[in-house]
Structure 1
Amino acid sequence: MFDPKKLEQIAKQIHDSMPTPVKELGADVEQKVRQVIQGQLNKLDVVSREEFDVQTQVLMRTREKLTAMEQKLADLEQKLAQK
């Protein structure tokens, strides 16, 4: 759901900002930081950028169809009014 590279970058930034004694604990701390970040991000009610883009395209197509149908309805109403 989230870009793994971004997650790695954030985990590395947090790891780099830690005091040296904590950093010396090694990759285990970085792995735990990554797990905590991933866990918190998963709790958020968000969608991926890809899913957002897909839904935006679906909405645009739906809007185009609705506009076309509204125009057809207006044309039909006009024809009925002329009879």
Structure 2
Amino acid sequence: MERNVRRVRAEAVSRLDLITREEFDIQQQVLMRTREKLEALEKQVAELEKTTDA
């Protein structure tokens, strides 16, 4: 009985499409770097727009 409960629980958890904490942390770091790059590019575009307006 206990084995069946564990098996059913494991199957239910696997269907939830969960990720590990390590995978979450890695994706969080990737997102942070992407955000930093985006902010830098936005700054560059703003500076280029200033030079073309002048």
Alignment TM-score, normalising by the size of structure 1: 0.57
Q: Which has the higher contact order (CA 8 A, sep 6+)?
A: 1
- Equivalenced residue count is 54
Is the aligned partner of 1:46 residue 2:38?
A: no
CA–CA distance in structure 2, aligned partners of residues 31 and 53 of structure 1: 33
Q: For the residues of structure 2 that align with 1:53 and 1:31, how far apart are their CA atoms?
A: 33
Question: Which amino acid counterpart does residue 53 of structure 1 have in structure 2?
Answer: D
Matched, 1:57 2:29: yes
Q: TM-score with structure 2 length normalisation?
A: 0.82
Mark the runs of 5 or more structure 1 residues left unpaired by the alignment.
Answer: 1-28
Greater radius of gyration (CA):
1
Q: Distance in 2 between matches of 1:35 and 1:77?
A: 61
Unaligned runs of 5+ in 2: none
